[in-house]
Amino acid sequence: MLTLFKFLAVALIGTALGLAVTYGVLQRGVAFNSVQAGPWRGLPKSGSPEVDPYARAKLARSAELPLGTAEGLSFIARADSSGATLQPRCDYDVSGSMPAARYWTLTLLSPKGFLIDNPAKRFGFTSAEIVRASDGTFDITVARQARPGNWLPLGKGEPFVLMLRLYDTLLDFGTAKLGAAAMPKIVKGRCE
Amino acid sequence: MNFGDRIFGFLLYVTGIVFVAGAVHLVSILLMPQVAPHDAYARLSRLAKPGQMVLLPPALPGHEITPFEDPAMAQAVCLYDVSSAPLHLHAEIPDAGLLTLSFRTRSGKIFYSMTDQAALHGTIDVRIMTEPQLEAIEDSEDDENEPLQELRLVAPDVKGFVLVNALAAFPSERAAAEARATSVSCSTEAIAQQ
Note down pLDDT in tens along chain B; length 194 residues.
Answer: 688 888 888 899 999 999 999 999 999 999 998 888 888 999 999 998 888 999 999 999 988 899 999 999 999 999 999 998 999 999 988 777 899 999 999 988 999 999 998 887 889 999 999 999 998 888 887 666 667 778 999 999 999 999 999 999 999 999 999 999 999 999 987 654 44
Burial (CB count <10 Å: 0-12, 13-18, 19+), residue A145: exposed
Asked if residue A60 has pLDDT above 50, the reply is: yes
Burial class from Cβ neighbours inside 10 Å (0-12, 13-18, 19+) for residue A5 reads exposed
Distance from CA of A132 to the nearest CA of B (A): 15
Same domain, A39 and A10: no
Q: Are B153 and B126 in contact (CB under 8 A)?
A: yes
**Is A64 within 8 Å of A47 (Cβ atoms)?**
no
Do A53 and A85 belong together in one domain?
yes
The answer to whether B68 contacts A47, with C-beta atoms less than 8 Å apart, is: no
What burial class does residue B96 get, using C-beta atoms within 10 Å of its C-beta: 0-12 exposed, 13-18 middle, 19+ buried?
A: exposed
CATH code, A76: 2.60.120.600
Domain carrying residue A56 = 34-191
- pLDDT tens-digit readout, B122-147: 899 999 999 999 988 888 876 666 67
Asked if B100's CB is within 8 angstroms of A68's CB, the reply is yes
Instruction: Tell me the one-letter amino acid at B138.
Output: E
With an 8 Å Cβ cutoff, is B191 touching chain A? no
pLDDT band for position A117 (cuts 50, 70, 90): very high
Above 50 in pLDDT, residue A157?
Answer: yes
Which residues in chain B have Cβ-Cβ distances shorter than 8 Å to A128? 169-170
At B180, the amino acid letter reads: R
In the A/B pair of chains, how many CB contacts fall below 8 A? 195
**A42 closest CA partner among A56, A26, A31:** A31
Which residues on chain B are in Cβ contact (under 8 Å) with A14? 16-21, 23-24
Does B47 reach chain A within 8 Å, measured CB to CB? no
Are A14 and A83 members of one domain? Answer: no
What was the ipTM of the complex prediction?
A: 0.87
Which of B124, B91, B69, A65 shows the shortest CA–CA distance to A56? A65
> A25 with A82, same domain?
no
Question: A142 and A58 in one domain?
Answer: yes
Q: How far apart are CA A150 and CA A148, in angstroms?
A: 7
Cβ of B3 under 8 Å from any chain A Cβ? Answer: no
Residues A62 and A1 in one domain: no
Indicate if A103 and A26 belong to the same structural domain: no
Same domain, A12 and A85: no
User: In this structure, are A48 and A15 located in the same domain?
Assistant: no
Provide the domain count of chain A.
2
- Residue of chain B nearest A69, judged by CA positions: B113
Indicate if A13 and A81 belong to the same structural domain. Answer: no
Of B59, B101, B117, the CB nearest to A115: B59
Judged by a CB distance cut-off of 8 A, whether residue B130 touches chain A is: no
Q: Provide the shortest C-alpha distance from residue B76 to chain A (in Å).
A: 13
Contacts of A49 in chain B (CB under 8 A): 109-111, 156
CA–centroid distance for B97 within its chain: 22
A112 and A135 in a single domain? The answer is yes
Identify from B15, B17, B63, B172 which residue to disrupt to test chain A contact, counting A C-beta atoms within 10 A and taking the largest count: B17
> Are residue A21 and residue A115 in the same domain, yes or no?
no
Q: Which amino acid is at A114?
A: F
Contact assessment for residue B106 and residue B159, using Cβ atoms and an 8 Å cutoff? yes
